[in-house]
Amino acid sequence: MTGVPGTALRQANRVVPPSGPSAWLTTLTSAAMAFLAVFALALALASGRLAARWTEGLANSATIRISAPADQMARQTQAVLDLLATTPGVASARAMTDEQQRKLLEPWFGPDLPLDTLPIPRLIEVTQDGAGYDGEGLRLRLAAEAPGAILDDHTRWRVPLAVAAGRLRILGLASVVLIVGTMAAMITLAANAALASNAQVIRVLRLVGARDAFIARAFVRRFTLRALSGAAIGTALGMLAVAALPSADAAGGFLTGLGFQGAGWLWPLALPPLAAVVAFVTTRIAAFGKLRKVM
């Protein structure tokens, strides 16, 4: 005998033909979906960090704005500082200098702002301690001691921003769920196409006594590996793209903060196994559904 049956026997383990459009479709879909999922994940995590910063960080600070005639400004400022020094729950209070206020306003009015000729209110930065102060009581005392002083505890803008960030986070996570769902649908379509184009293979296997589990396993294994490899490539590219975004420290702002920090980089690594699990489950369901129609 000139042939090598041993080799042929090993090949028999590959009962499903090795190639087809569904192979590329599955790999490409998984790669694209994983790539998008990395960004959705980055968005969700960045929004989460932002929401936490706005809710926790700014909750401990407040600003007192003093609008008074120029000749009363110094007196009212000092009165407010004295009052804050004796207010329980206030950890520190600091009046901003003209230079600091100029820097604050510079992005809107430019560097040549004539601060001394404009009725700019004086700002006092207040930091509260763990127990916090009585906001209503402080407002009443300020009204009595310094009529031009207004307490702004940031609630007005902090709450909607935190809510927005929280919703953005939900949106990011929902995007991940949608992407996974879309991937499941695409893999189901590809698996069904592969099963349909291999109807003859399935028929032969049934004829020689193959159980559904054996036939399904041949397809499931293939699609799981394709999804895993595709998602691994997509995730790697996505992580590289996120890493290449400008850093938050360098430019500031929300969009530049989009990315992963610390242990957050581990989250995208869950995407390839997740894609594999999705492919495993969807292909298995598709395969058994299709096989039930073949005696």
Partner 1 sequence: MIAFDSVAYSYGGAELLSEVSLRLAPGSFHFLTGPSGSGKSTFLKLCYAELRPTAGRISIFDRDVRSLGRDDIARTRRRIGIVHQDCQFLDHLPLAANVALPLTVTGRDTSVQDLSDLLAWVGLGHLADALPPSLSGGERQRAALARAVIIAPDVILADEPTGNVDWEMSLRLLSLLVELNRMGKTILVATHDLTLIRTVKQQIAARVLRIRNQRIQLAGADL
Q: How far is the CB of 20 from partner 1 (least distance, A)?
A: 11
Which residue in 196, 199, 203, 252 binds partner 1 (CB under 8 A)?
A: 203
Q: How many CB atoms within 10 Å of residue 85?
A: 10
Select 193 or 201, whichever has its Cβ closest to partner 1: 201
Which residue in 7, 71, 99, 249 binds partner 1 (CB under 8 A)?
A: 7
What residues numbered 256-295 form the site for partner 1, per CB under 8 A? 291-292, 295
Q: How far apart are CA 201 and CA 12, in angstroms?
A: 12
Which residue in 144, 204, 243, 251 binds partner 1 (CB under 8 A)?
A: 204
Runs of H (alpha helix) within the chain: 5-11, 21-52, 70-85, 98-109, 135-145, 155-197, 199-207, 212-243, 248-251, 271-291
Place of tokens 């996505």: 238
Q: How far is the CB of 253 from partner 1 (least distance, A)?
A: 56
Q: Residues binding partner 1: what is the number (CB under 8 A)?
A: 33
Which residue in 151, 205, 239, 279 binds partner 1 (CB under 8 A)?
A: 205
- Identify the bridge partners of residue 61 per DSSP, sorted by sequence position: 127
Return the range that interacts with partner 1 (CB under 8 A); candidates 28-36, 58-66, 188-196, 212-220: 212-220
Neighbouring C-alpha atoms within 13 Å toward the C-beta of 159: 3
CB 121 within 8 A of CB 67: yes
The reply to whether 23 sits near partner 1 by the rule CB under 8 A is no
Return the range that interacts with partner 1 (CB under 8 A); candidates 46-54, 78-86, 210-218, 249-257: 210-218
Closest CA to 83 of 147, 35, 167, 29: 147
The SS3 of residue 20 is: coil
Select 125 or 212, whichever has its Cβ closest to partner 1: 212
Binding site for partner 1 (CB under 8 A): 1-9, 11-15, 17-18, 200-201, 203-214, 291-292, 295
